[in-house]
Amino acid sequence: MTQKIRVGMVGITPNRGFSSIAHMPALQSLPDFQIVAVCTTCQESADAAARHYNVPLAFADPVKLAQCPDVDLVTVCVSVPGHYDPVMAAIEAGKHVYSEWPLGRSTEEATRMRDAAVAKGVCHAVGLQGRVSPVICYARDLIAAGHIGTPLSATLFVNAGNWGATLDRAYQAYFSNGANMMTITGGHNMDALCFMLGEFRELNAFAVSQRSHIPLEGTGELIPMDVPDQLVVSGILGSGAVASVQVRGGMTRGHEFLCEIHGSEGDLVLEATERASTQRQELTLRTARGKGVPLAEMPVPDQYRWVPAGTPKGSPYNVAQLYAKLGESIRTGAPMSPSFDDAIARHRMLDAIMAASRSGQKQVMG
């Protein structure tokens, strides 16, 4: 493929939502991509989005977008309960596909999407953007190179401000929809931890809902809630490090994100630089080796940045990093990660967390 990779976006509205604040500016910054089509739930809003972003094609049906011969790659940015149909439509049409995380409402649903993509031979990517964060990729390589010696322990703390005294999206209150504090905030952050230190070999967990009902922002309507708003996980990672994870719902002060990794020869610390999701910001990385040596910030080498220098920081940056990697996979056939396979691994980990919490028994991962 010598021409630009032509993208059709499912789920895009002007100036609102992750597709608008992250995917659109990310793609606009990458010279190898061209946004040629948008799709929303009705033709009127699709036409408005197309005019706003100066995109030539507008659809109200994701099947028709996927079947359009001018589209090479379909990006699915709708809410999690709506991922399955447009993803499967893209695969059926033989188009490459990028779906946001969580991939599906369940592991079973995600597996059906992965199996269909493999059978069709299309490239597939999932929005676990921590895996393409320059800081996290650099930290992973430092650990693998023995910079801190043998990893001994890891402590991960994450704040999830959305799941507090109120909730801004009603569908996120219901576990069956697959979009909640554990799957979104927990999934993204534990994926980054496992990317650096290996998958959980075994784990114990408490996934706790401390509220049976929650008011919706704006209306105050009280709706039932059966999803966790507090999560604690402990276990042993593939590297052998003992891990402790806490995802805290609703806190608006204190640390947004903190990951401390202790090794036999040194330590490594990742911290947030702004109050936003981990994968949507530039983290800081500090390390130290030897007794009495203070932590010092380590700048990330340029080799971990795959996007143009003018790529917007914040939410678009790691999305652009992921698209750059996906573009290489589409053009060269190189393996893609994060892929639907990575999504299934994360879904299975979340299943184990819920099994551990419900049974009170340690889960050994296969």
Would you state the pLDDT for residue 1?
A: 54
Would you state the pLDDT for residue 47?
A: 97
- Topology of domain 5-122 in CATH is Rossmann fold (3.40.50)
The pairing of beta strand 363-364 with beta strand 200-208: antiparallel
Widest pairwise Cα distance in the chain: 64
- pLDDT of 297 higher than 90: yes
Would you state the pLDDT for residue 94?
A: 98
* pLDDT tens, residue by residue, 5-62: 999 999 998 877 899 999 999 999 999 999 999 999 999 999 999 999 999 999 999 9
**Residue 254 CA neighbour count, 13 Å, CB half:** 12
Q: Per the CATH hierarchy, to which homologous superfamily does domain 133-298+346-359 belong?
A: Dihydrodipicolinate Reductase; domain 2 (3.30.360.10)
Residues of the chain with pLDDT > 90, as a percent, come to 92
Would you state the pLDDT for residue 164?
A: 86
User: What are the phi and psi torsion angles at 364 (to 5°)?
Assistant: -100, 125
- pLDDT of 133 higher than 80: yes
- Establish whether the linkage from the previous residue to 151 is cis, with ω within 30° of 0: no
Residue 24 near residue 35, CB atoms below 8 Å: yes
Distance (Å, whole) CA 5 – CA 332? 13
The beta strand positions in 54-182, using DSSP E, are 57-59, 73-76, 96-99, 124-126, 151-160
| pTM, 2 dp | 0.96
Closest to 18 measured CA to CA, from 80, 65, 62, 72: 80
- pLDDT of 327 higher than 90: yes
Q: Which residue has the higher pLDDT, 250 or 366?
A: 250
Across residues 61-79, what is the average pLDDT? 98
* pLDDT tens, residue by residue, 147-186: 999 999 999 999 998 888 899 899 999 999 999 999 999 9
- In this prediction, residue 101 has a pLDDT band, given cuts at 50, 70 and 90, of very high
Q: Are 5-122 and 133-298+346-359 equal in CATH topology? A: no
- In this prediction, residue 271 has a pLDDT band, given cuts at 50, 70 and 90, of very high
Q: In whole numbers, what is the pLDDT of the chain averaged over residues? A: 96
Would you state the pLDDT for residue 2?
A: 59
- In this prediction, residue 276 has a pLDDT band, given cuts at 50, 70 and 90, of confident
Across residues 251-255, what is the average pLDDT? 81
- pLDDT of 345 higher than 90: yes
Q: Find where tokens 């322990």 sit.
A: 153
Of 6-15, 98-107, 124-133, 134-143, which gets the smallest average pLDDT? 6-15
Domains of the chain, by residue range, sit at: 5-122, 133-298+346-359
